[in-house]
Amino acid sequence: MTTATVTPDMVSAAEWQARVDLAACYRLIDHFGMSDLVYTHITLRVPDAPDRFLINPFGSLFGDVTASSLVTIDLDGAVIHPEGGRVNPAGFIVHSAIHMKGDDAHCVLHTHSRAGMAVAALDSGLMMLNQKAMQFHARVGYHDFEGLALATEERERLYEDLAGHKAMILRHHGLLTVGADCAEAFSLMYALELSCRVQMDVLASGQPYRLPPDDLCEHTAQQLNGFPVPPREREWPGLLAMLQRVNPGFDQ
């Protein structure tokens, strides 16, 4: 498909760098098997225009998103640029719910992965079966399914159900993470997705499993969430370097 594009001279340097990071995040989600054709979204607040957000153009596969193809919208979902840009209204409802209420919710990442949707259908929700999952011990919200997210009145309930956490499981729907930047939101989603995959593998084995005590889960959560080096300085540079090798062009 042909999409309208934005060039570096049309936006601030801060917005262009945000576009590069967000395009990379889209391609990473695709690379690690978490994309759903043209559905679901990752949104990022424009650093020097906090009432504006970047989102993928509706109809583009995650692996094809570039810095120039991203669409800038306002809190009402109106397209700022490029002229003629198209966005998914359901995607705006889910993401604006978090952006509107959380001043530190700069990046919101939402997936419909197979494992994520499977766990979202279980009464148990996320189980503390491994240390990746323990990162989210008492730190994941749950939002009940209300049909396709098209009603603006659902936004308040979405934000309330996040309950101040950085991760949420949308029942019968998928996964959502929130970060200060793309690196944090991606790191959280990678861990949450891996936790869901392991959980479904364990359940599919049909073998007895062990759940560690709550105090050990909380201890592990504090260790993992207290890591002094943020994702942007940990794995993000290596991930960008990998993308330049296997799927270059995201920064165009």
CB 40 within 8 A of CB 174: yes
Q: What is the pLDDT of residues 167-189, one digit of tens each?
A: 999 999 999 999 999 999 999 99
- DSSP-derived secondary structure letter, 190: H
- Per-residue pLDDT at 2 exceeds 50: no
Which strands, in side-by-side order, build the sheet including 141-143? 79-81, 71-74, 49-55, 42-46, 107-111, 174-179, 167-170, 141-143
> What is the mean predicted confidence (pLDDT) over 99-127?
94
Q: What is the pLDDT of residues 219-243, one digit of tens each?
A: 999 999 999 999 999 999 999 999 9
CB 121 within 8 A of CB 106: no
Residues whose CB is less than 8 angstroms from the CB of residue 83 and which lie 6 or more positions away in sequence, other chains included: 4
CB 90 within 8 A of CB 149: yes
- What amino acid occupies position 40? T
Output the pLDDT for position 3. Answer: 62
Domain 8-246 sits in CATH at: 3.40.225.10
Band of residue 148 on the pLDDT scale cut at 50, 70, 90: confident
- DSSP-derived secondary structure letter, 250: T
Domain boundaries, the chain: 8-246
CB 220 within 8 A of CB 143: no
Q: Which residues pair with 108 in a beta bridge?
A: 43, 178
Q: What is the pLDDT of residues 61-98, one digit of tens each?
A: 999 999 999 999 988 788 898 877 888 776 677 888 88
- Per-residue pLDDT at 197 exceeds 70: yes
Query: What CA–CA distance (Å, rounded) separates 8 from 28?
Result: 22
Q: What is the pLDDT of residues 15-42, one digit of tens each?
A: 999 999 999 999 999 999 999 999 999 9
